[in-house]
A and B are shown apart, each in its own frame.
Chain A
């Protein structure tokens, strides 16, 4: 990538933001907290994938989906199906009436692995499915809705209904999906135990890496023409349409992208937590994911990551110390974010912190201009 291209993609302020986040996630947290807390943070980060996708759809494009849990779930279930098949080898399941199939199928008198489980023996297929299946699903919903110019509140409520349908289906078809218990007791990935501390570190860093890949893609979308079109559509859709753009295609694309991010998050969730269940698919988790995004700042992809981290951290801490009060705190937080800080943490930052930092930075910069140029050159080599 050329220096100029890089510079447009990552203006200096964004670059600093990325670097700070990377520093926190890669250095500070792994050194600062034990593996139990780090694993929790890894879990929170899986929600950040969804929140980043929502920044694109909702913050930039004005499309609020209340069904992101569905895509999170599709990704998570795909990964869980692969791991479950590996955990249900004939030796492990010798006590069942049909060895070699997942335990919950055996309890439901299913004697043969259903056809749609078969391909999940392959890791390659699973990884592809995690990205492609939710994208296709999102594409179908997107075409049906956006081509007909359904948007705003209607879209939100229809996606919510989709989440409700998925939950009831998954719970009802328990012979094929594990029902309300979900797919549990996942053990190994190609023979490598995923429950050890070592595996947890590996997954944490993998999760951080993938998150940065998604963040980079999101940044690219935002800085490209597509991103500017999305914002334009959000503000005044008809004018964009009259300028000759096919608005729906852009919306469909960004919705698919958001769903693919969510699915990657879901797959990482399964790997780090060790199971997948319908409680992550339904309406409540889907709305919570929107809230992570709102708290972080719906216009900022980095804010979304902080939002997911902060809200979940608060939820865990509050429910540990005051289990009976955390709903009050959560409810108040959401109201406060909407009423007082509509742009979330990122908005607070850019309003209060950034001018201050800029002032400091500029005074330093005036003193040592030469250093900064050298720093820029190092970035180009990366």
Chain B
């Protein structure tokens, strides 16, 4: 893929390298320059909901039910991205209109709504889903009706669908760098793995365990609690007995709040060197519920923190706050959700068409230089190349970034040797 699409919030479209303009790229460029949309027949051969001046996309998240807590940020990010794209003139000269559906934290509802979006609304792309279960539920629908899903959450991997672009990290990208860092910088020797009881923590811990054992270090315990569990005193006692150097936590949802509050109350001070808490599940969003003073000192390993200082991120945070209020915080998944519409726009313009097959063909190699997290690029396996950062939680609910991998990490959803 030779096409390089740069996007700039200011709206300047002049940086397409002249040499690499493919025919399609040229068409897209021309259409932008003249603000005369390419003809309908050209950009939409598969009967999608595209008119002379609009294109329909879907947003599919839970705004009710237990998952609404987590998914709200993603909806806000996707709407913001769509509004910004529209303010720049839209995609192939067409304004984006979104149809928002509520998955209601219920997987059959997700499947039903995705079918509605693809069959009735004929949307060109869907931005949505959060939990693995919801993605697994809609996946057969997207594959059957050939839709395109942009999925924002960091997840367990073990999947690579032609109909999904995974804008969050898969497990190895997120975990390996984190463990390497605590081993190298904090001289950690023993680990305790703790998670909520479902596939993502279990798979993540499996990868973590393999990696820890490969390094010749020791896992001293592994435990799972049901989703929504709120009593963690027993596990805290186990920490005190086993004295691990690192507590590797992938607890999610309401359990998170209970876990960190009780950890702090039990006298485990995370600002001290040992035991050190390394989490892969607590973004700034979750800290809002946990309370910064309760998680002060914990480390998190993920690709994005709100406190990133690059220009892209500062512009993004400013725009986000202007749109959704000053006291809002932005977590890893919110940022990944924000990438969805932009990656789709870039792919559509590279393809010169809204047709899902062409967008898919154009997707590998799509780059965003203006992503808040920095530069990202779509891998042929539909995941993103990205850096992983280690953040240290502070009382104000933000992470201080203490480490960043020097290179982009290649996504590897089926990691050999970790299964």
Contacts and interface: CB of A to CB of B under 8 A. Distances in A.
B137 A275 contact: yes
A179 B106 CA distance: 15
Nearest to A173: B197
Q: How large is the interface on B (under 10, 10 to 19, 20 to 34, 35 or more residues)?
A: 35 or more
Given A36-B116, A171-B226, A179-B198, A277 B63 contact: no
Interface string B143-161: 0100000000000101000
Interface in A91-110: 95, 97, 103-104, 107-109
A181 B129 CA distance: 13
A53 B419 CA distance: 44
Contacts of B198: 171, 174, 179-181
B116 A182 contact: no
A67 to B, nearest CB: 18
A323 B64 contact: yes
A109 B199 CA distance: 13
B106 to A, nearest CB: 6
B222 to A, nearest CB: 13
Nearest to A324: B63
A316 interface: yes
A97 B203 CA distance: 15
Given A174-B199, A185-B139, A273-B108, A36 B115 contact: yes
Contacts of A36: 115-116, 119-120
A174 B202 contact: yes
A273 to B, nearest CB: 6
A68 B224 CA distance: 28
B133 interface: yes
B143 to A, nearest CB: 9
Contacts of B136: 181-182, 184-185, 275
Contacts of B132: 180-181
B339 interface: no
Interface residues of A, number: 37
B248 interface: no
A323 B132 CA distance: 22
A172 interface: yes
Interface string B99-115: 01110101111011001
Looking at chain A's contact residues, is the secondary structure mostly helix, strand, loop, or mixed? helix
B221 interface: no
Contacts of B158: 103, 107
A323 B100 contact: yes
Contacts of A180: 131-133, 198-199, 227
Given A43-B108, A172-B226, A195 B119 contact: no
Nearest to B199: A179
Contact of A97 (B101, B102, B226, B419): B419
A326 B64 CA distance: 9
Given A97-B419, A185-B139, A195-B144, A172 B106 contact: no
A338 interface: no
Interface centre among B120, B137, B156 (most CB of A within 10 A): B137
B189 to A, nearest CB: 25
B140 interface: yes
Residue of A40, A107, A181 with most partner-chain B CB within 10 A: A181
B101 A320 contact: yes
Interface string B211-232: 0000000000000101100000
A279 B106 contact: yes
Interface in B192-212: 197-199, 202-203, 206
Interface of A: 36, 39-40, 43, 95, 97, 103-104, 107-109, 168, 171-172, 174, 179-182, 184-187, 195, 273-275, 277, 279-280, 316, 319-320, 323-324, 326-327
Given A279-B107, A323-B64, 14 more contacts: A43-B108, A104-B199, A107-B156, A107-B158, A180-B133, A180-B199, A184-B140, A274-B111, A275-B107, A275-B140, A319-B104, A323-B63, A323-B102, A323-B104
19 contacts: A43-B112, A107-B419, A109-B419, A171-B198, A172-B226, A174-B202, A180-B199, A181-B136, A182-B107, A187-B140, A195-B140, A195-B144, A273-B111, A275-B111, A316-B112, A319-B109, A323-B104, A324-B63, A326-B102
